[in-house]
Structure 1
Amino acid sequence: MNLRWIAVSILVLALAACAPIGGHQDSGQRDTQLEPITVRVSGFGTYEDSAKDRLNTRKRLLARRASQLDAYRNLAERVYGTVIYGSSTVNDFVLNNDNFRTYVDSYIRGAKMVAVNEHSDGVVETVMELKLEPRFRACVSKVADDQVQDLCPIPMPRDNDSVGDVQSRGVDSLYYLD
C-alpha cells in the first residue's frame, strides 16, 4: 500500500513538471501580437516592337497598364493562391498532349503601387505591395484553404497607412494615387 502511494505521488510530480508555465494564452491575445506582413510583387509588360513602339505614347501606356494588371494578378496569386487545371494525354507510354490552365479570381484592396520602371530593353516593370493585417492572418489560419477568399477578405488597415506618401499627405484613405 505504501509503495502504491509513492508511485502515485511520483507520477503526479512528473505530470506537474511537464505542465506549461504561465497558463494558456487566448487566441485573441496571439492575434494582437502578430506583426503585419508586407507582400511585394512585380508585374511586367512590354511593347510589341520595342524599337518602334517606344515612341508611340499609346503603346507605352498600354505596356504600363499590362505591367500593372500583371502585378495585381501576381498579388492575388500570392495572397489567395491559384487554381490550376491540367490534363495530359498518353498513348503507348508517350505523352501526346499536355495542357495546363490557371485561374485567379480575387478581390484585392489596399494595394499600393511602389514603382514603375521602364527598362532599356522595352520591358515595363510595376512593383506593388500590400500590407496584410494580423486579423487577416488569424482568419486564414482558422479556415480551410478553399474558403479563404470568401471568409477572409483583406481588412482595411486600422492606422493611417498613407503616412509618407507624397500624394496623400495625411489623408486617412486606403486608396493611393499613382
Structure 2
Amino acid sequence: MTLRWIVTPLLILGLTACASDGSKDSTQQADQEFEPITVRVSGFGTYEDASKDRLNTRKRLLARRASQLDAYRNLAERVYGTVIYGSSTVNDFVLRNDTFRTYVDSYIRGAKMVAVNEHSDGVVETVMELKLEPRFRACVSRVADDEVQDRCSIPMPRDNDAVGDVQSKSVDSLYYLD
C-alpha cells in the first residue's frame, strides 16, 4: 500500500514533466501561418520624341533607368505604403486650391528585374518582383502600420529563387499579387 502511494505520484510527475504544452515558438508559428507571396510591379520611362530619340543611345539608357527607378518606387509603395500630405482651400463653397504631395522613403532588397520592354510609342517598361517571406508578413501583422518600416525589414530570400523565373512574354503590365 505504501509503495502505491510513492510510485503513483512519481509516475504522474514523470509523465507531466515529459509532456509538452503544445505551444510553438512565435516565429515558427508565424512562418507556418503565412505563405510567401510575390509582389510584381511595373515602372515606366520615356524619351521626349519617340521618332528621333530612339536612335540616341544616351536617351534610351536614361529612359530605361527612369523606368527602373519608377519600378523600385512602385515596389516600395506596395510593400511599405505611401505617406500623403494634402491641403485644400475652399472659399464661398467653391474649391480654390487643392494640392498634395506623396512621400516614399524605404529600403528594398531582394527585388529582381523580370523584364524590360521597349514599346513602339517610346515607352520603356520595367517589370520587377519581390518575394515577401512569411517572417516579413508575420512581422507586419504584429506591428502598427506606422512602425512597419522601422521594425520589419525585408529579409533576403532563404531558398534558391531562380527556379520558375517568369518569361517576359507572359508578363502582364498591371500590379498584382501572386
TM score, norm. by length of structure 2: 0.76
Task: Tell me by how many angstroms 1:35 deviates.
Answer: 1.5
Q: Which has the higher contact order (CA 8 A, sep 6+)?
A: 2
* 1:159 alignment partner, SS class: coil
Q: Distance in 2 between matches of 1:77 and 1:46?
A: 21
Q: Which position in structure 1 is the counterpart of 2:108?
A: 108
Q: What letter is aligned with 2:139?
A: C
Q: Which position in structure 2 is the counterpart of 1:162?
A: 162
Task: Tell me by how many angstroms 1:162 deviates.
Answer: 3.2
Unaligned runs of 5+ in 1: 1-22, 166-178
TM score, norm. by length of structure 1: 0.76
Q: What letter is aligned with 2:140?
A: V
Q: Distance in 1 between matches of 2:30 and 2:123?
A: 43
* 1:156 alignment partner, SS class: coil
Q: Distance in 2 between matches of 1:148 and 1:30?
A: 16
Q: Show CA shifts across 1:29-56 (max 9, x none).
A: 2423422100000000001111110110
Q: Distance in 2 between matches of 1:30 and 1:154?
A: 15
* 1:76 alignment partner, SS class: helix
* 1:35 alignment partner, SS class: coil
Contact 2:30–2:134 under 8 Å retained in 1: no
Please give the residue correspondences for 1:85-164 in structure 2 after superposition, counting only pairs within 5 Å: 85-163=85-163
Q: What letter is aligned with 2:54?
A: R
Q: Distance in 2 between matches of 1:109 and 1:65?
A: 18
Q: What letter is aligned with 1:121?
A: D
Q: Show CA shifts across 1:124-145 (max 9, x none).
A: 0000000000000000000000
Task: Tell me by how many angstroms 1:110 deviates.
Answer: 0.5
Q: Distance in 2 between matches of 1:51 and 1:95?
A: 41
Q: What letter is aligned with 2:127?
A: V
Q: Which position in structure 1 is the counterpart of 2:56?
A: 56
Q: CA RMSD in A?
A: 1.7
Q: Percent identity?
A: 87
Q: What letter is aligned with 1:84?
A: I
Q: Distance in 2 between matches of 1:117 and 1:47?
A: 14
Q: Which position in structure 2 is the counterpart of 1:79?
A: 79
The number of aligned residues is 143
Q: Which position in structure 2 is the counterpart of 1:20?
A: none
Q: What letter is aligned with 2:43?
A: G
Task: Tell me by how many angstroms 1:156 deviates.
Answer: 1.1
Q: Which position in structure 2 is the counterpart of 1:43?
A: 43
Q: What letter is aligned with 1:66?
A: A
Q: Distance in 2 between matches of 1:162 and 1:117?
A: 21
Q: Which position in structure 1 is the counterpart of 2:16?
A: none
Q: Show CA shifts across 1:102-155 (max 9, x none).
A: 000000000000000000000000000000000000000000000000000000
